[in-house]
Structure 1
Amino acid sequence: MNQQAKYKLIGFVMMFASSSLMGGIGAFTRFIDAPGDFVSFWRNFAGLIALSLIFCFVGGSWKKIKETRFSGMMLLSGVFLGLLSGLYCLSTQYTTLANASFLIYTGPIYSTILAAIFLKEKLNIKGVLCIAAVVVGMLFIVGIVTPEGLTLDLDPKYTFGNAIAFASGVAYGLYLFFSRYREDCDSNVRSWWNFLFGSLSIVVLLVWHHFFLQPLSYTEKVNGVT
């Protein structure tokens, strides 16, 4: 196995492990009795704390952060990482879960288009077909396409929630796009900055939600009564 093939295999294994662990986020979140945007903040902030502790035991990690040239692209990738998570959690409170899931996962479409325009990446028919297959598969997974027909709810009462969910998809695409600009940066260093600015952006989102939107009521059970 040559060196390039070895790196591709390692990358595939890490991506598979990352996707598998990410799938567990929803399972754990179901046991947390707290607003979604609050959970989203602690998910990012806990990542910052955990990575900082790892750096304390791995020699040279803090030195790498100091030596790495900070750039606006690292700031933007962190901000949009926080926004994609926070806006998605917020949108689920104002629209259906199917709508929110569908709209956030349109993100890779935007990043692919932006990469083709600004990074001059070639967009061939194979890439287009792969993206289309992902979108169609996702429609089945979130339950928008069912044997009974389409379940995408375009009721006007969900307009605001759909707009927030769409914004989360745009944030997802921009996060993927801006992350491409600093491939020279160590992945752990970039993750640390992403967690930091992601947490700060969700704090801003929490403040906006609390002071400028009508706070939502969350159902809870008292003596067995909802």
Structure 2
Amino acid sequence: MGLGQARTPRSSGCLIVFEGVSGSGKTEGINRLKRELDARGVTVSVAEWNANRFLRRLVRLLDRCHLMNPIIYSTLQWIGFRLSYETVIKPRLKRGEIVIADRYIYSGQARDTVNGAPSWIGRPWHMHTARPDTVFFCDTLPAVCYHRIVHRGKALYHPSRRYREQTDARKELAYLESMRDCYLKLFAEAEKDEKQRIVLLTDSAAVEVLGEVWEAVVRRTGRGAAYEMAPTADRSTPTNPTERS
């Protein structure tokens, strides 16, 4: 299972990626990070994975009509990613902005593997994409993620017949565990690239995450200020960005 990511050179901007299984705390980490960077006067954009409303409605329609399968789902998710990349991520990086991606190509690759879709589907869609400056992998235990998803009352969607056809009430937990395993394999391979920065988030305090991001911002944009918590940031008890989904 290879990354297959083109190492496209980039002269400006900073791309920060948050990855993790559903319920791992990505959104909370992103929100805290954006608030802190906003407080420092840094222009920040957040790019959500598959945010295209038309494609989301199409997925729901095909699923209701029992026409969805891993290949169609994979194709639609990669189209959605490329649309987001070309209309949000790429142009804003060119303008020298900081872009935080709520999932990136790693999510697509992990989902394809677990859902049973061939890897060649996504390859042309994620070729020539920018290498992230830093990838934060929210490695929350799948059991914790599963509990959060159940508590939210929002169903976990995927087209994997292997898991959907199981009768075990905790089949979604098994799916999350498989997704985590795929992520770990992907990032173990990515770490072989000395230029790729992967940060595993388990018990790290939010302030440490923000410091890591600020270092990446300084490297990419040339900002010379050392990192300090902005006075307007929430400075109550430091929390783990993986506490909430």
TM norm. shorter chain > 0.5: no
What TM-score does the superposition give when structure 2 sets the normalisation length?
0.30
Determine which structure has the larger strand proportion and give its number. Answer: 2
What TM-score does the superposition give when structure 1 sets the normalisation length?
0.31
